[in-house]
Amino acid sequence: MPDPKRARPQPTPETRHYWEGAKAGELRLQRCDACNHTYFPPRPFCPACASRAVSVFRASGRARLYSYVISHRPAPGFTPPYSIAVVELEEGPRMMTNIVGCPQTPEALVLDMPVEVAFPPLDDDISLPVFRPAGSAA
Amino acid sequence: MKPGAVAIVGAAETTELGVVPGMAEIQLHADAALNAMRDAGLKPSDIDGVATAVTQPQAIAHYLGITPTWVDGTSVGGCSFMLHVRHAAAAIESGLCRTVLITHGESGRSGIGLGRPQVLPASLAGQFELPYGTFGPPTMFTIPVLRYMKTYGLTEEHLANVAVIQREWAAQNPRATLRTPITVADVLNSKMIAWPFRLLMCCLVTDGGGALILTAADRAKDFPQRPVYLLGTGESVETPMISQMADFTSSRAFRVAGAKAFAEAGITHGDVDHLMIYDAFAHLPIYGLEDLGFVGRGEAGAFIAERHTAPGGKLPTNTNGGGLSYMHSGMYGMYALQESVRQVRGIAPAQVPDVEVSVCHGVGGMFAASGTIIMGRERP
């Protein structure tokens, strides 16, 4: 288990489906039933057209590395250097994450490289979606 | 706002800047406010409008003994003071109040009496960013840059050069925290903070404060200092989450605020004699120059390298040394405004000759908010 001092997300009624999905090994996004816009982070209405008719669906978990830094600063629960990245999901939205399963170096972390989601548990309740180079799964 | 309808008639920073362990945050506000009131020849009883950020305006009003008829607690990060200037101008024009005091104080280095907001674990940033080990602005504000570098071919040397040139300005400023000249190699060899950002590409963390006093331009000639007229103002916000910024190579909030201010002032970029762009990190002047329209997209790194923003250049920028070398308490926008006022008054330590028009552009949060204030020496 990671460091107990590490920051933990606190789900709200609007985001619970996302965190339940992560615990079940699914990356869940939302799509507007009216205009078909796919969006993140979660909310019970479409940020493009304001429709309240939206659906949760399971995303592919495939993404590309969009941008990142390699933090050399001490942070609770992390061992520097570690990547703090933004990935662009195959379905369109971008999200923050860590890239794991490869050296935390500029040489190993190449912009636009394909990555795929993994769900390491933070504790009994929360699994945190992170990404690793595509095809690197053990 | 009608260009030139409102003027800045008082402006001052705290008596000391840098490391000020003998003052709590509220006293940094007050020290700057007392200096600004002396600058304007006013007493607290002459003030009827109060604006500040993070600290609540009632705390400032009560501490200074002011009974306001108008307050503004807009708190959108380091550019909050640009927004206060804009809101105060509207309030003065519409008669809600006559004389506004805007204060900032922050014990960023010494941490005495802090009022800083926390990221709550149930907020969207608390759920979808903080768990990934973000730890303050150096690990968030910096994230978009690799995408910019890949898109436009900006180099690490370009980023380093921003800090080098601002240090040249700081060298002329006795109040600047860091004044020793540096080279691109010095910057690239300084401690790695969050690749590709080294220590010298990141702002200082210091203590200080500043205050401004605004009133109607019709009254401004009755004050002891030369008035600095507000020509145009703009503001906008985008997202509190850096991961959700729509375009990692350009700030929507910058573009919206900047365009609004230029349109209101009715000026062109060629009219601008002096520029301040809030530089929490070395990439901010690059984004700012492009998003305000001074150069085309992807051109700012070369523009700075060609020394156009340096001493003697055609667009003197961040002439106090900026957040990188002058001071940065956490919400730097107030210090950028102070430098624009000094340049328009003609009293800056590194004075640019004949500044008629100064543009002062601020950022709040991590590209979350923006405010642009255009000041002029003559009333249009």
Chain B closest-CA separation from residue A34 CA (Å): 22
Tell me, yes or no, if B132 is annotated catalytic.
no
Tell me which H or E stretch contains B326: none
Which of B119, B195, B283 should be substituted to probe chain A, the one whose Cβ sees the most A Cβ atoms within 10 Å?
A: B195
pLDDT digits (tens, 9 = 90+) for B326-342: 999 999 999 999 999 99
Looking at residue A6, its pLDDT comes to 87
Angle at B240 between CA B237 and CA B241, to 5 degrees: 130
Contact B99, B88 (CB under 8 A): no
Measured between CB atoms, does A67 come within 8 Å of chain B? yes
pLDDT at B299 over 60: yes
Q: Name the band, by pLDDT with cuts 50, 70 and 90, for residue B116.
A: confident
pLDDT at A138 over 60: no
Burial zone of A62 (CB within 10 Å; 0-12 exposed, 13-18 middle, 19+ buried)? middle
Looking at residue A2, its pLDDT comes to 54
Q: Where are the domains of chain B?
A: 6-114+204-376
For residue B95, the tally of other CB atoms under 10 A from its CB is: 10
Average pLDDT over chain A reads 95
pLDDT digits (tens, 9 = 90+) for B258-269: 999 999 999 999
Contact B56, B98 (CB under 8 A): no
Q: Where are the domains of chain A?
A: 16-133
DSSP H helices, B8-72, are 25-40, 57-64
Looking at residue A3, its pLDDT comes to 64
Q: How far apart are CA B137 and CA B123, in angstroms?
A: 17
Are B146 and A11 an interchain contact pair (Cβ–Cβ within 8 Å)? no
- Smallest CA-to-CA distance from B66 within B93, B39, B15, B100 is with B100
Q: Name the band, by pLDDT with cuts 50, 70 and 90, for residue A90.
A: very high
Are A7 and B196 an interchain contact pair (Cβ–Cβ within 8 Å)? no
Which of B130, B243, B248, B249 should be substituted to probe chain A, the one whose Cβ sees the most A Cβ atoms within 10 Å?
A: B243
Tell me, yes or no, if B332 is annotated catalytic.
no
* Nearest chain A alpha carbon to B134: A84
Q: Kindly list the residues from chain A whose CB atom is less than 8 angstroms away from the CB atom of residue B147.
A: 66-67, 111
Q: Look up the CATH number of domain B6-114+204-376.
A: 3.40.47.10
Which of B148, B229, B278, B335 is an active site residue? B278
Name the percent of chain B lying above pLDDT 90. 97
Q: Kindly list the residues from chain A whose CB atom is less than 8 angstroms away from the CB atom of residue B141.
A: none
Chain A closest-CA separation from residue B141 CA (Å): 10
